[in-house]
């Protein structure tokens, strides 16, 4: 057995055993590697960082998608930025009321390789008639999109480095605000409060988003293979509040079976630990 190792902090590493290194290539945007192991099944990394694996992907994809739909069950037009593994689009396409899903992923190779090696997230996505694959930079996509053209934007991005940097800028958040309609919701990969490097990114994103969106909350989820395991999503909107406006009965009536998300956890996810609340509001 060989080991894949990710540096979580200066003095902390995380290793996963693997039997096969299935694929390795440098795309125009990043280094892409696929591995097959026992503990987390098939997984892939971008520039050496764990992205998605078969065993805990359900947690991330449940939590990036379902809280928004419990807050507005009538969502029809959805923009996924990043999300090249297909898992976020897969969850959105489970909603019969959804009419359009656009995937603005910068690196087509990520999606094509996930279709080959990670069908758990990518299978069936391209085939769905509601799906539009718009390979390219997510910032450029929103800059060219019409006003008020989406109900929901899901930013399923890498960290704010390299190609992902543009997705954590004030310019990007402003464009997202313009492209969302009056009931529009923005969900973004909001980093993590524990290790200092990620906590700095978390605070910076928070400061920028709070200046633009009247409703700006943060919620948490447990992600075993991400640094510290404690990760966050941002919930920003022009009007709808995930704690005041969520409609648990309407969401449960849709009848989706979900392995992580439920409408009780929905409220718990927004009840953040004190040190996280303090850190998020320390920038005010
Ligand atoms: N769950 C993962 C995480 O939290 O780190 C993210 C998964 S998803 C695979 C991230 C995707 O964002 C990658 O496929 C990457 O190519 C894409 N991406 C990075 N920067 C982008 C940009 N500027 N525009 C669109 N997609 C981008």
- Identify whether the C-beta of residue 111 lies closer than 8 Å to the C-beta of residue 80: no
Residues 34 and 145 reside in one and the same domain? no
Percent with pLDDT over 70 in the chain: 99
What is the total count of domains within the chain? 2
Q: Of 53, 73, 95, which residue is a domain's last?
A: 53
Residues 29 and 115 reside in one and the same domain? no
Q: What is the pLDDT of residues 34-79, one digit of tens each?
A: 999 999 999 999 999 999 999 999 999 999 999 999 999 999 999 9
pLDDT of residue 228: 98
Residues 91 and 153 reside in one and the same domain? yes
Residues 76 and 101 reside in one and the same domain? yes
Residues 20 and 48 reside in one and the same domain? yes
Q: Of 13, 37, 53, which residue is a domain's last?
A: 53
pLDDT band at 192 (very low <50, low <70, confident <90, very high): very high
Q: Of 53, 68, 92, which residue is a domain's last?
A: 53
Residues 6+ apart with CB under 8 A from 233: 63, 64, 67, 187, 188, 189, 190, 218, 219, 220, 221
Which among 82, 89, 114, 166 is the best mutation to test ligand 1's pocket, defined by most ligand atoms within 8 Å of the CB?
A: 82
- Identify whether the C-beta of residue 153 lies closer than 8 Å to the C-beta of residue 79: yes
pLDDT band at 282 (very low <50, low <70, confident <90, very high): confident
Report the distance separating Cα 166 and Cα 152, nearest Å: 19
* Burial class of residue 61 in the structure, from the number of CB atoms within 10 Å of its CB (0-12 exposed, 13-18 middle, 19+ buried): buried
Q: How far is the CA of 85 from the centre of ligand 1 (A)?
A: 9
Catalytic positions, please? 156
Per-residue CA distances from 133 to 103, 122, 186, 187 (Å): 5, 12, 20, 20
Q: What is the pTM for the complete model shown?
A: 0.98
Q: Residue 4, Cα to own-chain centre: how many angstroms?
A: 23
121 within ligand 1 shell (Cβ under 6 A)? no
Per the annotation, where are the binding residues for spermidine? 61, 85, 156-159
Residue 156 structural domain:
57-252+260-281
Output the six-digit token pair for 229: 């395991």
Q: How far is the CA of 14 from the centre of ligand 1 (A)?
A: 21
Other Cβ atoms closer than 10 A to 281: 11
pLDDT of residue 163: 94
Residues 48 and 70 reside in one and the same domain? no
Residues 9 and 88 reside in one and the same domain? no
Mean pLDDT of 117-142: 98
| CATH of residue 266 | 3.40.50.150
Report the distance separating Cα 29 and Cα 91, nearest Å: 26
What does the mean pLDDT of the chain come to?
Answer: 97
Mean pLDDT of 245-266: 98
Per the annotation, where are the binding residues for S-methyl-5'-thioadenosine? 30, 105, 137-138
pLDDT: is 283 or 119 the higher one? 119
Residues 18 and 142 reside in one and the same domain? no
Residues 65 and 7 reside in one and the same domain? no
Mean pLDDT of 143-151: 98
- Identify whether the C-beta of residue 106 lies closer than 8 Å to the C-beta of residue 167: no
Neighbour-count burial for 176-208, b at 16+ CB within 10 Å, e otherwise: bbbbbeebbbbbbbbbbbbbeebbebbbebbeb
Residues 131 and 224 reside in one and the same domain? yes
| CATH of residue 44 | 2.30.140.10
Mean pLDDT of 7-32: 98
Residues 13 and 107 reside in one and the same domain? no
pLDDT of residue 283: 55
Residues 48 and 109 reside in one and the same domain? no
Mean pLDDT of 201-207: 97
């Amino acid at each position: 057995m060989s080991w894949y190792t990710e540096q979580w902090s200066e003095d902390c590493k995380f290793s996963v055993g693997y039997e096969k290194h299935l694929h390795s290539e440098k795309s125009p945007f990043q280094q892409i590697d696929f591995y097959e192991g026992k503990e987390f099944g098939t997984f892939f990394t971008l520039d050496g960082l764990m992205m998605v694996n078969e065993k805990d992907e359900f947690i991330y994809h449940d939590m990036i998608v379902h809280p928004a739909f419990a807050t507005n069950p009538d969502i029809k037009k959805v923009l996924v930025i990043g999300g090249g593994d297909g898992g976020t689009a897969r969850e959105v396409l489970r909603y019969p009321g959804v009419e359009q899903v656009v995937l603005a992923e910068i690196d087509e190779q990520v999606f094509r390789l996930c279709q080959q090696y990670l069908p758990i997230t990518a299978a069936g996505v391209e085939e769905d008639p509601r799906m539009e694959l718009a390979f390219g930079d997510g910032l450029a996509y929103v800059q060219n999109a019409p006003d008020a053209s989406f109900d929901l934007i899901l930013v399923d991005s890498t960290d704010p480095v390299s190609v992902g940097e543009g997705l954590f800028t004030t310019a990007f958040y402003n464009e997202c605000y313009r492209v969302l309609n009056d009931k529009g919701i923005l969900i973004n990969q909001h980093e993590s409060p524990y290790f200092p490097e990620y906590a700095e990114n978390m605070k910076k994103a928070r400061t920028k988003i709070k200046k633009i969106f009247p409703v700006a909350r943060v919620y948490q989820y447990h992600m075993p293979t991400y640094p510290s395991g404690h990760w966050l999503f941002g919930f920003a909107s022009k009007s709808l509040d995930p704690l005041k406006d969520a409609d648990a009965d309407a969401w449960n009536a849709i009848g989706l079976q979900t392995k992580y998300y439920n409408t009780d956890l929905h409220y718990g996810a927004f009840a953040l630990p004190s040190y996280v609340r303090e850190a998020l509001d320390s920038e005010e």
